[in-house]
Amino acid sequence: MNPELKKYDIPALKRIALLLPVLIVIVIGLAAYASSFSNDFVWDDTYLIKGNKHIEGFQNIKHIFKEDLFYMTLDIAPAGSGYYRPIQTLSYIVDYSLWARRPLGYHLTSFIIHILNAVIVFYLCLLIMGDKWKSCFVASAFSAHPAFVPVVAYVSGRADLLGLFFSLLAIYLAIGYIAKTRGKYFIWLSVLCYALAVLSKEYYVITPLFIIAYFLIYRDDAIADRNVKTGLLSMALIFIAYLVLRAAVFNFHPLAVQEYDIPLWIGRVIVFPYLLTCYIWALVFPVNLGMEKKLLLNSFAEPRFPLSYITLFAIIAIFCYFYKKKQRITIFWLAWFAISLIPISHIFIPLEHIWAEHWTYMASIGFFAFLVSAGDALYRGPGSRKYALLAVMIIAFFIALTINESKYWKNDEAFYARTLKRSPHSAKALYNLGRVYKERGDRAKALLLFDKAIAESLGRKPLYFLVRGRLHKDMRDFTRAQQDFETVLRFGPSPMSARAAGELAVVYEMQGNIKKAIETYGVAIGLTRTNKSGYYNSLGLLYKKMGDHERARDDFESAAKMNPSVAAYHNNLAVECAELKMYERARAELKEALRLDPANDSIKRNIMLLETKTRPRGAGGQEDIDAGTR
């Protein structure tokens, strides 16, 4: 092993010597995030937690491993996200089994995972740098950094927490296999952790690059190790299998459209140094943070773009300097930082948004470790107390900013108002704040915000038209509601267009155009891949209105077969069976409906009316049993 890399056999150290810095990291994290434990669910938590029925039981695991993240969420969710993150949803299932939908429990889980990540960062830095206090500083800066509030204090940010957890374990185990000459099971555990990291968030497919960088910089002979080659090959196969499954097997929808206007690859390359400067600035001086960053671009000749190349050239010069000095530790951490930026550079894959501070969750480890190792390489003289004081001041600064940042994630209104203050052109924030006002009953403000959201998104978000159409429908402005739903349908077949067709059918029904409503419900059924039962139930109710009891029965029967756990479907089927004098079938359906919903008075009344209806003549009056329900 290179003498620069101090080999630490961690179990041989005095336990108390390592317990203290680990405890410091934990306390710093707690000080930074304790105030966020009382926060409510915000933003996408509405879809992924509050409205996600799939987290209500472990029996839904079969769905979460073959569908995208937003599958079967609340009816207004942005269906078709293209995010395949089953481990994230699985963590919500575990949370739900413990906490139901109490926000405190979910925030505690996220915090615990973040602290575990910080502890792994400490041990990984210790393994590579061999200095517990330098490792403690890196882990503490990571633990308290305010840029990561959207990862830790926002429950829907769980994917980054889980992805980094498994990614760091994969890296630590692989490095530990060589650095500490452990058994080959370290490599296989590393491969397993890599698979779990990829299933947590797409970003972490790059994990093997950190392992390869370590081996190339420290131990180029390790690549020849049979177990290492087998492990890296296994990771490559996992990556290929993941791509194939996404593209050819899982029925995913396209990723969301970009909310910035740099269509050409060369344009994204030109902008990258500017984004690099933004990321570094966010790590060094994390103020004016916010979600939904926008890049208002008039010309690449704007001074900020040419000037940002100074940052890129400076990093290249720094790399060359330390490479010449053979400072391998410093080079490795700089390589870590560079590798971490690959998925968020827009060079290889254009993302929905231009940049965000919390995307540096992985990169921050390399950045702060680089600063520590570079400082140590450049200055080895006395002054450790000054360094300690500076470290304390930096961490205290981060803690104060994190506490302040967390208050903006307390509830939806505070979050969206702040987001719009920082990013007034954010279509997503405008839409979500409109949703908050809609839930409050302030339809005028909600409509104004939905209009702005559609304008800012350049009319490319079918979700915004869908929700505005629903608001127009609630306000009985049927003409505009119809226009919005038809606009969604023009985007092409998708779960969103299926919802729009269903809503359009309701509009026709409210206008008394039953024939058109039936036709449009048929369109909704054709566009819907799953959960068609609601549309069949609505069709059955329309046929009942028309007096076509046979068709009504057939549709209610389809609804009950597709979703046998809904009591209303069985009740509606029983009503139509009674109309068609199929009394035994009606009795059986009512019995099942009562089993599913024993407190339902309407079902009980229908049972009594059915018994009255089927008595011999003279034994009692005959009365039609209760009309069907939705």
Is 171 in contact with 211 (CB distance < 8 Å)?
yes
pLDDT at 4: 42
pLDDT band at 627 (very low <50, low <70, confident <90, very high): low
* Helix 533-546, helix 567-579: angle, nearest 10: 30
Q: How far is CA 233 from the centre of its chain?
A: 29
What pLDDT sits at residue 73? 56
Mean residue pLDDT across the chain: 85
Whether the predicted pLDDT of 515 surpasses 50: yes
Instruction: Quote the pTM value.
Output: 0.79
* pLDDT for residue 76 is more than 90: no
DSSP state of 249: I
3-class state of residue 293 by DSSP: coil
Instruction: Give the chain's length.
Output: 630
Instruction: Give a three-class secondary structure readout of 24-55.
Output: HHHHHHHHHHHHHHHCCCCCCHHHHHHCCHHH
pLDDT of 85 over the 50 cut = yes
Cα separation of 499 and 497, whole Å?
5
- Give dist(CA 590, CA 574) in Å, integer: 6
In this predicted model, what pLDDT tens digit does every residue of 120-174 receive, in sequence order?
Answer: 999 999 999 888 889 999 999 999 999 999 999 999 999 999 999 999 999 999 9
Q: Which candidate, 332, 329, 228, 225, places its Cα nearest to that of 7?
A: 329
Lowest mean pLDDT among 248-252, 341-345, 623-627: 623-627
Question: How does DSSP classify residue 83?
Answer: -
Question: 252-307: per-residue pLDDT in tens?
Answer: 544 444 445 555 667 778 888 888 999 999 999 998 887 766 666 666 677 778 88
Q: Which two tokens stand for residue 485?
A: 């739903």
Q: How far is the CA of 18 from the CAs of 30, 95, 116, 132, 385, in angstroms?
A: 19, 31, 15, 7, 20
Neighbours of 31 (CB within 10 A): 17
> Pick from 198, 205, 236, 252: which is nearest to 87 by CA?
198
What DSSP designation does 71 have?
Answer: T
For residue 144 the two structure tokens come to: 């308290």
Q: What pLDDT does 464 receive?
A: 92
Q: Is 476 left (phi over 0), alpha (psi -120 to 50) or beta?
A: left
Residue 498 DSSP SS3: helix
pLDDT in the model for residue 5: 43
User: Where is average pLDDT lowest: 2-16, 382-396, 425-439, 442-456?
Assistant: 2-16
pLDDT for position 629: 55
pLDDT of residue 7: 45
Residues 6+ apart with CB under 8 A from 576: 540, 544, 549, 552, 553, 556, 628
Contacts of 98 (CB under 8 A, 6+ apart): 105
The angle subtended at Cα 208 by Cα 203 and Cα 211, nearest 5°, is 130
At 292 the pLDDT is 62
**Which is more confidently placed, 60 or 512?**
512
- Do 368 and 394 contact (CB within 8 A), yes or no? no
Helix, strand and coil content of the chain, in percent to the nearest 5, comes to: 70, 0, 30
pLDDT of residue 401: 95
The domain segmentation of the chain, as residue ranges, is 42-100, 534-630
- Burial of 200 (C-beta count, 10 Å sphere; 0-12/13-18/19+): buried
How far apart are the C-alpha atoms of 617 and 622, rounded to whole Å? 9
pLDDT of residue 448: 94
Q: How far separated are the first and last CA of the chain, in Å rounded? A: 71
How far apart are the C-alpha atoms of 367 and 360, rounded to whole Å? 9
For residue 398, the model assigns a pLDDT of 96
Query: For the segment 550-583, what is each residue's pLDDT rounded down to a tens digit?
Result: 999 999 999 999 888 899 999 999 999 988 889 8
What is the mean predicted confidence (pLDDT) over 384-406?
A: 88
* φ, ψ (nearest 5 deg) of residue 166: -70, -35
pLDDT tens profile 176-233: 887 766 677 888 999 999 999 999 999 999 999 999 999 888 876 667 778 888 889 9
Residue 105 buriedness (CB in 10 A; 0-12 / 13-18 / 19+): middle
Task: Enter the tokens of residue 147.
Answer: 């840029």
Instruction: Taking residues 507-533, report their average pLDDT.
Output: 88
Q: In the predicted model, is pLDDT for residue 430 greater than 50?
A: yes
d(CA 134, CA 373) in angstroms, rounded, equals 8
Classify domain 534-630 at the CATH topology level.
1.25.40
Write the CB contacts of 47 (distance below 8 Å, at least 6 apart in sequence): 70, 73, 74, 76, 77, 78
Q: How many CB atoms lie within 10 A of CB 247?
A: 9
What the block records as the tokens of 252 is 């995913």
Residues 6+ apart with CB under 8 A from 191: 170, 231, 234, 235, 238
Please say whether the beta carbons of 348 and 341 come within 8 A.
no
> In this structure, how many other beta carbons lie within 10 angstroms of the beta carbon of residue 611?
14
What pLDDT is recorded for position 193?
A: 96
DSSP conformation letters of 532-596: -HHHHHHHHHHHHHHT-HHHHHHHHHHHHHH-TT-HHHHHHHHHHHHHTT-HHHHHHHHHHHHHH
pLDDT in tens, 352-362: 677 788 999 99
Rounded average pLDDT over 303-330: 87
